[in-house]
Amino acid sequence: MITIKSVRELKGMQASGHLLATMFEALRDVIKPGISTWDIEEFCQEFVSSRGGRLSEQGFEGYKYGTCISVNDEIAHNIPRKNVFLKEGDLVKVDVTCNLNGYESDSCTTYGVGKISEEDQHLMDVTKKAMYMGIDQAVVGNRIGDIGAVIQHYVEDEEGYGDVRELIGHGIQPSIHEDPEVPHWGKAGHGLRLREGMTITVEPMVEAGGDWRILQKTVDDPNDDWVFYATPDGSKSAQFEHTFAITKDGPKILTLQKPYDGLEKYIPHFDEMED
């Protein structure tokens, strides 16, 4: 079931998204060569809990942690690990959901660790641009397929990268995963029509090697049989994700990070509206 959010709900999600965005901003000074992915988990847990929120992926469908942290060829859904240390030139994807006072937000950022190559920077830039291109299609009256079509064309046809098919965006609130499904590929003019008040995520995952398929793997931990996904050819991947609301004034991003330069049109102002 797809829910249309009230102003009260949008205000709550905006507050949750702001907390999550400030956590990601703070991570820019935390992520550096030598730290473990478990250090990132601990930082995120403390940052959010000390401000009244909680990492809501923890406990969802049996997941034990508050963050998903995937490095280099690991596309998504890997666990934070005490024995995995970041190295100069790594790409690390941090995917987090936040609950604040019952309101959910979901976001992912890819960070370059130390100095990264021009090729890896380009991969990150293309992935982030693809996300915003998809978000720009999320206007009242458009269809779900319009989002995926523009992402797929840019990532695959223009840039020659692989646009992951099997892992997709989704609706959000009251739980972290709601209808509708939001693929990052598809046909323009097809699929569910978008309505004012819907809240969804767009979160393209892009493979440098040009393959869109994913390889299922199990974590190397005798005490955990969690499954994650990697590129089949060992190439690096990147992911960016925002939670946003569809409004009559265009998409408003609830997890927008500073600096806002060039992103002013996405800034929400639900906190200034009457319930």
pLDDT per residue as tens digits for the range 21-39: 999 999 999 999 999 999 9
How much is the pTM? 0.97
pLDDT score, position 245: 98
Q: What is the DSSP letter of 36?
A: B
| One-letter amino acid of 188 | A
* Packing angle, helices 144-152 and 118-136, rounded to 10: 160
Please, which residues bridge with residue 224 across strands? Answer: 221
| One-letter amino acid of 230 | A
| One-letter amino acid of 180 | P
User: Which of 183, 155, 179 has the alpha carbon at shortest distance from 169?
Assistant: 183
Residues 124, 24, 53, 194: is their CA dihedral positive or negative? negative
137-149: burial string, b at 16+ Cβ within 10 Å, e else: bbbbebbbbbbbb
Across the chain, which has 275 residues, the per-10-residue mean pLDDT values are 96 98 98 98 98 96 94 97 96 98 98 98 98 98 98 98 98 97 98 98 98 94 87 98 98 98 96 85
